[in-house]
Structure 1
Amino acid sequence: MTEEGETLELYNLHYSDLMALSSSVHQLPTAYENVEYLVSVMSTIMKNLGPSGPGLLAITGVPNASDHRRTLLPMARKLALLNNEDRKRVLKDHGLGSDVPLKNIDRTVSPFAMQLKYNMNPDVSNLCNINHAETEGHSSNIECPCEFKHLGNMFKDLGTCMVDLGLRLARVCDKIIGGHELEQSLLESCSAKGRLIHYHSVLDNLILQASNGTRSKTKKTERTCSNHSDLWQQWHYDYGVFTVLTAPMFMFAPENNGSSKSSEGKECPSPSGHTYLQILDPNKNSVVRVKASSESFIVQVGESGDILSKGKLRSTLHSVCRPKSLENLSRETFVVFLQPSWSKTLNAYDFSVESLSSNGEDSRTCDGETLCQKPSSDIGKLVPPLCDRLKNGMTFAEFSRETTKQYYGSSGLQSKR
Structure 2
Amino acid sequence: MELPSGTYRETGCTVELRVEEAETIDLYELEYPDLCSPSSASTVDSIMEALGPSGPGLLAVTGVPNASNLRSHLLPLARSLALLPRETRKLFLKEHNLGGDVPLRNPDRSVSSFAMQLKYTKSPLVEKTVRECRGTEFENLGSCFQELGFCMMELGLCLARICDRAIGGNELEMSLLDSCGAKGRLIHYHSHLDALLLKQHERSRATSKERAGNVKPLEGSELNSIAPDVNPGGIHSNLWQQWHYDYGIFTVLTTPFFIQPSYSEASKRENSFPSSCFDECQSPTGHTCLQVYNPNRKRAIMVKAPPESFIIQVGEAADIISKGKLRATLHSVHRPSKFENLSRETFVVFLQPAWTKTFSISDYPLGNSSFNGFHGQCLVASDEEQRQSGQDNDNLNYVDSSVVLKVIRFVPNTEQKTVLYFQYVKLN
TM-score range, shorter chain: 0.7 to 0.9
* SS, match of residue 230 in structure 2: helix
Task: Look up the match of 2:250.
Answer: 242
8 Å CA contact 1:346–1:396 kept in 2: the answer is no
8 Å CA contact 1:252–1:265 kept in 2: the answer is yes
Task: Look up the match of 1:207.
Answer: 197
340, 360, 383: which one aligns with 1:347: 360
| 131 and 363 in structure 1: CA distance in 2 versus 1, 3 angstrom threshold | farther
Task: Look up the match of 2:144.
Answer: 154
| 206 and 401 in structure 1: CA distance in 2 versus 1, 3 angstrom threshold | closer
Query: Distance in 1 between the 2:153 and 2:130 partners?
Result: 21
Task: Look up the match of 2:72.
Answer: 70
AA aligned opposite 1:397: V
1:89-108 equivalences in 2 (<5 Å): 89-108=91-110
1:40 aligned onto 2:42: yes
Deviations along 1:74-130, one digit per CA (max 9) or x if unpaired, are: 0000000000010010001000001111111110100000000114xxxxx9x9x97
- Number of residue equivalences: 371
Deviations along 1:364-394, one digit per CA (max 9) or x if unpaired, are: 65xxxxxx548999846347665444426x3
| 83 and 398 in structure 1: CA distance in 2 versus 1, 3 angstrom threshold | closer
1:278 aligned onto 2:291: yes
Farther-moved stretch of structure 1 (269-278 vs 256-265): 256-265
1:220 aligned onto 2:229: yes
- Which ranges of structure 2 fall in alignment gaps of 5 or more residues? 1-18, 207-217, 219-224, 382-390
Query: Distance in 2 between the 1:362 and 1:202 partners?
Result: 33
* SS, match of residue 56 in structure 2: coil
Query: Distance in 1 between the 2:113 and 2:234 partners?
Result: 23
Q: What's the TM-score, normalizing by structure 2?
A: 0.78
Q: What's the TM-score, normalizing by structure 1?
A: 0.80
8 Å CA contact 2:27–2:305 kept in 1: the answer is yes
Query: Distance in 2 between the 1:384 and 1:72 partners?
Result: 39
AA aligned opposite 1:171: R
| 259 and 386 in structure 1: CA distance in 2 versus 1, 3 angstrom threshold | farther
Query: Distance in 2 between the 1:94 and 1:109 partners?
Result: 20
Q: CA RMSD in A?
A: 3.4
- Which ranges of structure 1 fall in alignment gaps of 5 or more residues? 22-36, 120-124, 139-145, 366-371
Deviations along 1:231-258, one digit per CA (max 9) or x if unpaired, are: 1100000100000000001111236479
| 401 and 85 in structure 1: CA distance in 2 versus 1, 3 angstrom threshold | closer
| 88 and 16 in structure 1: CA distance in 2 versus 1, 3 angstrom threshold | same
| 399 and 310 in structure 1: CA distance in 2 versus 1, 3 angstrom threshold | farther
* SS, match of residue 57 in structure 1: strand
Task: Look up the match of 1:391.
Answer: 406
8 Å CA contact 2:186–2:346 kept in 1: the answer is yes
8 Å CA contact 1:193–1:337 kept in 2: the answer is yes
1:85-164 equivalences in 2 (<5 Å): 85-119=87-121, 134-136=131-133, 146-164=136-154
Deviations along 1:130-185, one digit per CA (max 9) or x if unpaired, are: 798624389xxxxxxx3101000000000000000000000100000000110010
Task: Look up the match of 1:403.
Answer: 417
1, 9, 13: which one aligns with 2:30: 13
